Amino acid sequence: MSKYRGPKLKITRRLGDLPAFTGLKKKSKKIQKAGKAGQPHKNQSSSRQDVSPKQPKKLTQYALRLEEKQKLKFNYGLTEKQLYNYVKEARRKKGVTGLILLQLLEMRLDSICFALGFGTTIGNARQIINHRHITVNGKIVNIPSFQCRINDVINIKEKATSKNLVQKNLEVNKTMSRPTHMKFDTEKAEGQVINYCDRKSIQLKVDELLVIEYYSRR
């Protein structure tokens, strides 16, 4: 897939917090100080009392749907075509389309590796998978979009370089809280998918219904 190589601060100012895109570490001072694009800085000088602050533009319905779609796209590191294919797949399944879409994205191998702490960001998790450091049910899988299933066991390859690489990331992510639909063995550094995720366990703040509405017009 095409990898975004631009400034992350620019994206987070526009779309808000994207946990898998920027990582779960404490926000830098730059990100804490920066509001959303178009909003005045809280420390901005107020000496010019006669000038009223600009009001943020009211977004159209299309712009709102587009913004929510962009959140999913950047947070999970997807291309437009990939995200559209996931939406089509979610529509074909029985159930709530928005929740099914999120479950499909969360069951990607790169999403699971990030949630387990194997990668500091979803991009980092994807790189680890591409370099053949991760196994699923004892077999090496180097496809980040690989769809995991319930009871799948995700582990680190039995090699010193793989173990050391992932252990460093686990140390960085040691304070993270893992989703309830996954089980993690700290001694073995091994994760297992025990269920599909529920809506409350999704860390990304997104209105998935607006994403479905955005693609319903295509």
Residues 163, 188 within the same domain: yes
pLDDT digits (tens, 9 = 90+) for 89-134: 999 999 999 999 999 999 999 999 999 999 999 999 999 999 999 9
Please answer whether residues 178 and 117 qualify as being in contact, where contact means their C-beta atoms are separated by less than 8 angstroms. Answer: yes
The boundaries of the domain holding residue 11 are: 1-36+58-104+203-218
- Give the domain CATH number at 174: 3.10.290.10
Q: Whole-angstrom Cα distance, residue 143 to residue 147? A: 9
Residues 114, 186 within the same domain: yes
Residues 8, 66 within the same domain: yes
Extract the tokens encoding 151: 């009871």
Q: Answer yes or no: is 45 within a domain.
A: no
pTM, rounded to two decimals? 0.83
Residues 69, 13 within the same domain: yes
Q: Whole-angstrom Cα distance, residue 62 to residue 13? A: 19
Mean pLDDT of the chain: 86
Residues 27, 126 within the same domain: no
Number of domains in the chain: 2
Residues 159, 142 within the same domain: yes
Please answer whether residues 14 and 71 qualify as being in contact, where contact means their C-beta atoms are separated by less than 8 angstroms. Answer: no
- Region 152-165: what's the mean pLDDT? 95
Gyration radius of the chain's alpha carbons: 19
Tokens 């000088």 appear where? Answer: 45
Please answer whether residues 111 and 96 qualify as being in contact, where contact means their C-beta atoms are separated by less than 8 angstroms. Answer: no
Q: How confident is the model at residue 24 (pLDDT cuts 50, 70, 90)?
A: low
Q: Answer yes or no: is 46 within a domain.
A: no
Q: Answer yes or no: is 48 within a domain.
A: no
- What DSSP character marks residue 87? H
Q: Whole-angstrom Cα distance, residue 217 to residue 111? A: 28
Q: Answer yes or no: is 44 within a domain.
A: no
Q: Answer yes or no: is 42 within a domain.
A: no
Per-residue DSSP letters for 53-73?
PPPPPPPPHHHHHHHHHHHHH
Q: Answer yes or no: is 47 within a domain.
A: no
The values of phi and psi at residue 143, to 5°, are -115, 105
Extract the tokens encoding 146: 């690989």
